[in-house]
Amino acid sequence: MRIAYQGVTGAYSEAAVLRINPTAAPLPRPSFEEVFASVEKNEATHGILPVENTIGGTIHRNYDLLLEHELSIVAEVKIPIVHNLVVPEGMKLEQVQRVYSHPQGLAQCERFLRSLTGVEIVATYDTAGSAKMIKEETLPNSAAIASARAAEVFGMDILKSGIQDFADNITRFLIVSREAVPLGIPDKTTIVFTVSNEAGALFKALSVFALREIDLTKLESRPIPDRPFEYLFYADLAANREELRCSRALMHLAEFAPSLRTLGSYPSWKEPVGGEEEPVQPGG
């Protein structure tokens, strides 16, 4: 199993790869688009994408990419995220003039960053990549928000640990594949649909699930390109699409939804037996 992820060694996405399958071979890629391309070109069997975080919210770009490509969602995984202020060896906090990280990493540490005086905040493509850039380019007076593993990989110090705004900082990832073969027994389905621009249309769409007692665990709207103020709706259903009640609900929805697509039916993430694991430190 070879799983493409966005970032470099030490990224949180790499940690998610190893949590879904400790024996998988992680394949780093510089962008989310290239994660999809690697799977489509058969360079990887699967790809992994962060889609939402309990602090930073939804990562909209990846929902857009799911629609742009024909890959199927086959699993999900959730990992606790621990952010650290990472610096070159020997640097002191008062020497830090710039902090680099992915926009999500910066958003998740907003309160800590506000406590720093006269420090420039710089958004980059990756958390672990920020640590790598500082180390390899010998950037003066610079720090990164990244994981403990990223600090270890690039030989850097941790000045402050656990700097995220909230202790319960969890990111949800989706695993995609060319083949719609779920990695386990499916009990969750993700769909995307549109509704007519008329009163009660969304209520009518959602009622097909309420009538069959299917729980919606997520509902997200996204603008439709080139159609101003018209929207797509992404929904996560707590049911396998092969269940009779779910298949009937989707057929019912298809009767009046202008468009409907199932992005995948897959097993919802469950913590390993034996209780919660320690927060995953490898960084993203």
> pLDDT by residue (tens digit) across 95-143?
999 999 999 899 999 999 999 999 999 999 889 999 999 999 999 999 9
CATH architecture of 188-266: 2-Layer Sandwich (3.30)
Across 166-191, average pLDDT? 95
Q: What is the pLDDT of residue 71?
A: 97
pLDDT at 198 over 90: no
Which of the residues 32, 112, 173, 193 is marked catalytic? Answer: 173
Structure confidence at residue 83 as a pLDDT band (50, 70, 90): very high
Which of the residues 124, 171, 190, 194 is marked catalytic? Answer: 171
Q: What is the pLDDT of residue 170?
A: 93
pLDDT at 276 over 70: no
pLDDT at 55 over 60: yes
> What φ, ψ does residue 62 adopt, rounded to 5°?
-75, -30
User: How do the domains of the chain map onto residue ranges?
Assistant: 2-81+169-177, 84-161, 188-266
Sign of CA dihedral 40, 41, 46, 47: negative
Q: Does domain 84-161 have CATH number 3.40.190.10?
A: yes
**CATH classification number, 2-81+169-177, choose in 3.40.190.10, 2.30.31.10, 3.40.50.12240, 1.10.150.530:** 3.40.190.10
- DSSP code per residue over 57-98: EE-HHHHHHHHHS--EEEEEEEEE---EEEEETT--GGG--E
23-46: pLDDT as tens digits: 999 999 999 999 999 999 999 999
Instruction: Check if 166 is active-site.
Output: no
2-81+169-177 and 84-161 share one CATH topology? yes
131-176: pLDDT as tens digits: 999 999 999 999 999 999 999 999 999 999 999 999 889 999 999 9
Instruction: Check if 127 is active-site.
Output: no
Instruction: Strands of the chain (E only): list them.
Output: 2-6, 25-29, 46-53, 57-58, 72-80, 84-88, 98-101, 120-123, 142-146, 156-161, 170-177, 188-193, 216-223, 231-237, 260-266
Select from 217, 174, 230 the least CA-distant residue to 59.
174
